[in-house]
Chains A and B, each alone.
Chain A
Amino acid sequence: MKILLVDDEAELVSALAERLSFRGFEAQWVSSGDEAVQKVHENDYDLAVLDVKMPRMSGLELREKLKKIRPAMKYIFLSGHGSEDDYRAGAAEAVCYLVKPVKIEELVEKINQALGRE
């Protein structure tokens, strides 16, 4: 079960990756959209957790790019911003949308849901 975490806050995403790995996920992390594209080219991930607000490339844009590379990949969005527009965009794509700070149990549950396992 390979998961890619993308967030400009390296401190956050590194800790999160480690925590997920404790829970049986193979989690890798990058801190920018470009790196994420590169990683996705190299590896085959089941799911990506994307930050909505990132410098240069937003999470939504990044998803469009990643979709072209790996159409089967699932997405979960994280955001620190309680913006209505982001929420709508996320909800419209029927993908999970979580607001930071997020509980690890909640995230794990959402990942399992997205991947269709119980």
Chain B
Amino acid sequence: MSIKGIFKPEFWDADAQAAGPYKRLFDYKRIWQLCFAILVMVSLIPILIMASIDFSVTRGAIKSENTLRAARTTSNTRRSVSFFVEERKSALQLLVEMENFRSSYNKENLISMLKSLKNSFGGFIDLGVIDENGKQVAYVGPYKLEGREYCGQDWFRQAVDKGVYVSEVFLGFRDSPHFVIAVKHFIGNDKSKYRILRATLDTRQFNDIFSALDLPQGEDVFLVNREGVLQTPTRWNGDLFSKVSFDLPEKSFRTKVQQITDHNGETVMVGYAYIENTPFVLLFVKTKKEFMGAWQRSRDTVTWLTGVSIAVILVVMWAVASYLVERIYIADMTRSKALQQMEHHNRMASIGRLAAGVAHEINNPLAIINEKAGLLKDLFTFSKAYEADERLIGLVDSVIDSVERCGRITKRLLGFSRQSDIEFRPIYPQKVIETVLSFLNKEAEYRCIDIHVSVMEGIYEVVTDRGKLEQVLLNLISNAFQAMKDGGALQIEVARKDKNNLIFTVRDNGCGIPESDLKRIFEPFYSTKKQSGGTGLGLSITYGLVQDLGGAMSVKSELGKGTEFSFTLPSSPRSKGDK
């Protein structure tokens, strides 16, 4: 079947009306539609289900993986930050517990302490001691801050109230980001006398905690204060001391992960933790584009694959449905042709029997006419009573001649209608050809077709089945007649091919057969005359008959010039065994 046949099969325009009451059985379009729909449904539904399952499973997996990752990163970083602050706070607390610290706030002492703090922990810039009135009583560091008053400031009150204070990161009047840890301690046992040790830390080390995190593209970890002001540099969430673009989630000292819509309407995944005893909130931010990126990529792949599969399935199912229904259609057509053919054969057989009966019926009156006319002639010839009248004898002779002619026809008809098994007898090729032509003579005369028969000298008889040979010749000659226009020429030749074989040739100068059809003309049901009622059986039957006779058949044709069918026959048949 050609490609075109798959997409617009032959049965598409088949007329279902012709099938009468059973037209639903022969509605090939409907069968095709049903077939196609079922095939497509059966193959597409699982694919679609699989694809959607894959969608949701992948989506869930990627989401939970991202959530876990966010939680882990947040948690680890929170611990680092917390530890960093806690460590320094503890160092300061240790200092203030020491006797020699409390006994004197002299500068030498503080310088050596700051030096050891810088060496052991790092990050310390300066140290100051502030009395209960908020006055800085001692200071070591790069700035001149001795004697400075802090009593009105918020951090001072908080340090006094809580005993320990950790500040946000701020610029202060030094114009570099830093933060402060202040520790309150009592002098002696008197609870009303206290001092506050205030240490300033630069944020370099602090920031190193974050830059040390090896974050993939699209993730960002940083600190903000409780108002959402950035405390450490970020990758893409704004500059230091600017506000983040989303509202902080509700307070929690445990690590949590949430999806938050920021002010620009973008969804981000936020892992966060409020760090205890500090104003810091740790944030882990990942954009939706980033955290769903993997899912989108896999979704794209699945969508793409599903799309291509569906397209391929549709094409294949279309082709399969077309092919199947086409086969059914061809089988149905073949069957109905075969039925027609059988009907036709049946009718021909009964006509044959009828013809034999009619011929027989006509034979008796013919015989009577023959004898009566003969008797009349005898009377004129032999009896003296009737003068030998030449004219009357002529009349009687013509009656007898006509009877003889009719007799020939009825005898031939009787002979031809006889149906028997294959029976090999010696026959004369010339005579067989003449018998066959006698059935077609009238048509040849009407159509002015010139028939030329030549039998090679020395060929008298061939042992074969007369009936089959007659039918083969009749088929070939009537085919030739159909191929020719009026006034064509038909040549029938019988020649000796080799010692044991004769070759019969029927050559016409008709329309010829195209190259493409030539290979298929002996196939059953192959017909180029379907419209004009051909069954495609004539030549295949002829071919079979020639084979029955132990011969072989071949064809040569040139379009527009004519066709030559030839078949060989063994001059004496081989026994059935070696056929």
Contacts and interface: CB of A to CB of B under 8 A. Distances in A.
Interface of A: 9, 11-12, 15-16, 18-19, 22, 80-84, 99-104
A81 B411 CA distance: 9
Given A22-B378, A82-B415, A99-B411, A15 B371 contact: yes
Nearest to A100: B367
A21 B404 CA distance: 22
Nearest to B364: A80
Contacts of A103: 404
Interface of B: 356, 359-360, 363-364, 366-372, 374-375, 378, 381-382, 403-404, 407, 411, 414-415, 418, 420
A101 B360 contact: no
Contacts of A104: 374, 378
Nearest to A15: B371
Given A12-B364, A82-B414, 14 more contacts: A9-B367, A11-B371, A12-B367, A19-B375, A19-B378, A22-B382, A80-B363, A80-B367, A82-B360, A100-B407, A101-B366, A101-B370, A101-B371, A101-B407
B554 to A, nearest CB: 33
Contacts of B404: 101, 103
Contacts of A18: 375, 378
A106 B364 CA distance: 18
B368 A15 contact: yes
Nearest to A16: B371
Contacts of A82: 356, 359-360, 411, 414-415, 418
B380 to A, nearest CB: 11
Contact of A15 (B375, B381, B411): B375
A22 B411 CA distance: 28
A22 to B, nearest CB: 4
Contacts of B363: 80-81, 99-101
A81 B415 CA distance: 10
A80 B512 CA distance: 45
A102 B370 contact: yes
Nearest to B382: A22
A113 B35 CA distance: 80
B414 A101 contact: no
Contacts of A83: 418
Given A82-B415, A104-B374, A11 B356 contact: no
27 contacts: A11-B368, A11-B371, A11-B372, A12-B367, A15-B374, A18-B378, A19-B374, A19-B375, A22-B381, A22-B382, A80-B360, A80-B364, A81-B360, A82-B360, A82-B411, A82-B414, A82-B415, A83-B418, A84-B418, A84-B420, A100-B364, A100-B366, A100-B370, A101-B367, A101-B371, A101-B407, A104-B374
Nearest to A99: B411
Contacts of A16: 371
Contact of B371 (A19, A80, A84): A19
Given A15-B372, A80-B360, A84-B418, A102 B378 contact: no
B385 to A, nearest CB: 13
In this complex, which of B364, B366, B414 has the most chain A Cβ atoms within 10 angstroms of its Cβ? B364
Given A82-B414, A82-B415, A102 B375 contact: no
A82 B374 CA distance: 23
Given A82-B411, A101-B404, A104-B374, A12 B359 contact: no
A40 to B, nearest CB: 23
In this complex, which of A16, A83, A100 has the most chain B Cβ atoms within 10 angstroms of its Cβ? A100
A23 to B, nearest CB: 8
Contacts of B367: 9, 12, 80, 100-102
A100 B364 CA distance: 7
Contacts of B368: 9, 11-12, 15
Contacts of A80: 360, 363-364, 367
A118 to B, nearest CB: 22
The 6 tightest CB contacts between A and B, nearest first, are A82-B414, A15-B371, A80-B363, A101-B370, A100-B367, A101-B367
Contacts of A101: 363, 366-367, 369-371, 403-404, 407
Contacts of B366: 100-101
Contacts of B378: 18-19, 22, 104
A15 B374 CA distance: 8
Nearest to B357: A81
A72 to B, nearest CB: 28
A18 B366 CA distance: 18
Contacts of B411: 82, 99
A11 B223 CA distance: 140
A78 to B, nearest CB: 8
B407 to A, nearest CB: 5
A81 B363 CA distance: 8
Nearest to A18: B375
A4 to B, nearest CB: 16
A19 B379 CA distance: 8
Nearest to B416: A82
A82 B418 CA distance: 8
Nearest to B359: A82
Nearest to B408: A101
Contacts of A11: 368, 371-372
B372 to A, nearest CB: 5
Nearest to A78: B367
Nearest to B407: A101
